[in-house]
Homo-oligomer: A and B are copies of this chain.
Amino acid sequence: MKTINILEKFGKFTHQWHPHIIAELNGQQVKLARLSGSFMWHSHENEDELFMVIKGVLYMKYRDSEEVVREGELIVVPKGVEHYPYTKNDEEVWVLLFEPASTLHSGAIESERTINNQEWI
């Protein structure tokens, strides 16, 4: 019920590719993440995932197309769709994620990048 300032929350962590939770509603969570470089090809079996860009330019590669997402833009990746998010020139891109509380950020793929315990900030 309290106001949440997105940029202030970004000031509370520095790790990249590590989503932090800022709000929860209807079984869904709002998370913030700093992305830089490339993640991995993955998909989420049961969850659609929303990315909103707060700072920088995010590139979202699909198997047969690619989207560019700039500040003030958002994109929804439907469940089951393989995607590969990346940034260019190692730019650090700030994104807001909206997804079910159950979502693992790397989908069915477990790697050194997988974070199982996402924290609130």
Residues of A within 8 A of B (CB): 1-7, 23-26, 28, 30, 47-50, 62, 65, 67-70, 72-78, 81, 98-100
Contact = CB atoms under 8 A, between A and B. Distances in A.
A26 B73 contact: no
A22 to B, nearest CB: 8
Of A1, A49, A67, A70, which is in contact with the most chain B CB atoms at under 10 Å from its CB? Answer: A1
Contacts of A77: 1
Given A3-B70, A3-B74, A5-B73, 6 more contacts: A1-B62, A4-B75, A4-B76, A7-B72, A25-B48, A26-B99
Contact of A74 (B23, B99, B100): B23
A72 B30 contact: no
A68 B5 contact: no
B3 A68 contact: yes
Given A1-B62, A62-B1, A98-B98, A74 B25 contact: no
